[in-house]
Amino acid sequence: MRQMIQFRSKRAKAARPERRDPAPSRLSYKLNRMMLRPWVRRFLRHGLPVLIVVSGVVFWASDQGRRDDAMDRLAEVRRQIEERPEFMVRLMSVEDATPSVASDIREVLSIDFPVSSFDLDLSGLQEAVETLDAVAEASVRIRSGGVLEIEVEERVPSVIWRDEDALVLLDMTGHPVATLEARTTRSDLPLIAGVGADIAVAEALELFEAAEPIRDRLRGFLRVSERRWDVVLDRDQRIMLPEGAAITALEKVMALDRAQNLLERDLSVVDFRNPGRPVLRLGQGAVDLLFDTGFQSE
C-alpha cells in the first residue's frame, strides 16, 4: 500500500511539474523598467556599439608598434597600387614648341621616367614650365597610354632690347623671350634701347608702325629718362618725341618729311619735345655752309 502511495505521488509529480511563479523577480522587474527608459534604449541602440568599437580601436592603437606596423602595411598597399602599369607614365611629349624650347622644358622638369602618375604634381609641373621666359602658357596633362603631354604656347618676340651688356628679345608685353647673339640675326625686328624701354614696348611698336616711310633709315628707338622716346636714324639724325602723343608727333615729322624732304637735309636733331614749338638743329656741315654763304652778311 505504501508503495502504491509512493508510486502515485511520484506519478502525480511527474504529470504536473512544479508551476513556475509567473511573477517577475524583483531584479528582472527593475531591469525591465530600466530598459523602458528612453535614454537607456537609445544608449543601447546607438551609444553602446559606438563605445565598444571606439574603445576597441583606442585599445589597439595604444601600442606604438602595432600602429607603425599598420602604417607600414598601408603604405605598402598604397605603393603597390600606385606602381601598377596602368598608372605609370613613360613618355613626355612637348607640343607646339620649337626644339630649343622643348629641350629647355625637358631640362627644367628633369623627370626620371617611368614614374607613377600619383607622384606627378601636374600643377607644379605647369608652374615650372611657365617659369621659362619663352613660354607664355602651358597645359600639362597625362594622356592615356602613359604619356605626359605638355602643350606650350611660346612667346613671340617683337622687339630687340639693347640692354647694358646684351641684346634681349622682348614680346609685345615687354616680357623677355630670349637673348640674342647678334643684331643681324633678327634684322626684321625693331631695336629699342635705354632704361625702362621694356616697359613701353607697346608704344615703341606703334612708333615703329608710324615710322614706315623711313624704315630703311631707322636705327632704333631710345628711351630717354624712362619717359619719352627718341627715334634714332642713320647719319646721326635723331627725332626727339614728346612724352605724350608721341605717335602724332612722329606722324607730323613724317608729313614734313614727305612734303619738304625734311630728313634728307643736313639736320642733326628734329626736336618735337614741345609739339607747339618744334626746333630743328642743323648738322655741322650745314652750319659751316651757312657761315660760308654769307649768313653774316644778312
Partner 1 sequence: MRMLNDLYQSQRSMRAMRQAAIQRGVVAILDVGTSKIACLILKFDGRERVTSGEGIGAMAGQTKFRVIGAATTRSRGIELGETCAVQETERAIRTAVQAAQKMANCRVDHVIACLSGGQPRSYGLAGQVNIAGDVVTETDIAHALAACDVPDYGADREILHAQPVNFALDHRSGLIDPRDQIGQRLACDLHMLTVDTPVIENLIYCLRRCDLELAGLALSSYVSGIAALVEDEQELGAACVDMGGGTAGLSIFMKRHMIYADTVRLGGVHVTQDISKGLQIGVAAAERLKTFHGGVVATGMDDREMIEIGGETGDWEHDRRTVSRAELIGIMRPRVEEILEEVRERLDAAGFEHLPSQQIVLTGGASQIPGLDTLAPKILGQQVRIGRPLRVHGLPQAATGTSFASAVGLSLFAAHPQDEFWDFEMPADLGAPRSLRRAMKWFKSNW
Q: By CB under 8 A, is residue 27 in contact with partner 1?
A: no
The answer to whether 275 touches 255, Cβ cutoff 8 Å, is: no
Percent helix, percent strand, percent coil in the chain, to nearest 5: 50, 20, 30
Q: Per rule CB under 8 A, is residue 23 in the interface with partner 1?
A: yes
* 3, 14, 19, 21: residue in contact with partner 1 (rule CB under 8 A): 21
Between 11 and 90, CB nearer to partner 1: 11
Residue 22 binds partner 1 (CB under 8 A): yes
- Which of residues 16 and 215 has its CB atom nearest to partner 1 in the complex? 16
| Window contacting partner 1 (CB under 8 A); options: 18-26, 50-58, 84-92, 244-252 | 18-26
Listed ranges 23-31, 140-148, 182-190, 223-231: which one lies at the site for partner 1 (CB under 8 A): 23-31
User: What sign does the dihedral 138-142-148-149 (CA atoms) show?
Assistant: negative
Among 37, 46, 67, 79, binds partner 1 (CB under 8 A): 37
What CA–CA distances, in Å, run from 159 to 171, 200, 215?
7, 11, 14
Nearer to partner 1, 19 or 277 (CB): 19
10 near partner 1, judged by CB under 8 A: no
Any contact of residue 42 with partner 1 (CB under 8 A)?
no
Pick the binder of partner 1 from 33, 46, 66, 183 (CB under 8 A): 33
Q: According to the binding rule CB under 8 A, does residue 6 interact with partner 1?
A: no
Measured distance CA(32)–CA(34) in Å, rounded: 5
**Per rule CB under 8 A, is residue 8 in the interface with partner 1?**
yes
Cell numbers 603631354: residue: 149
Identify the residue among 6, 10, 13, 24 touching partner 1 (CB under 8 A). Answer: 24
Long-range contacts: 228-232, Cβ < 8 Å, 24+?
A: 228/273, 229/200, 229/203, 229/204, 231/207
Find, among 251, 253, 284, 252, the residue nearest to 267 by Cα. 284
Parallel, antiparallel or unpaired: strands 167-170 and 176-180: antiparallel
| Whether 170 contacts 160, CB under 8 Å | yes
Q: Identify the residue among 6, 10, 13, 30 touching partner 1 (CB under 8 A).
A: 30
The answer to whether residue 12 forms part of the interface with partner 1 (CB under 8 A) is yes
What gap in Å lies between CA 80 and CA 267, rounded to an integer?
80
Say how far residue 102 (Cα) sits from the centre of its chain. 18
Residue 229 bridge partners (DSSP): 223
Residue 14 near partner 1 by CB under 8 A? no
Binding of partner 1 by 36 (CB under 8 A)? yes
Among 1, 2, 14, 16, binds partner 1 (CB under 8 A): 16
Residue ranges in contact with partner 1 by CB under 8 A:
8, 11-12, 16, 21-24, 26, 29-30, 32-33, 36-37
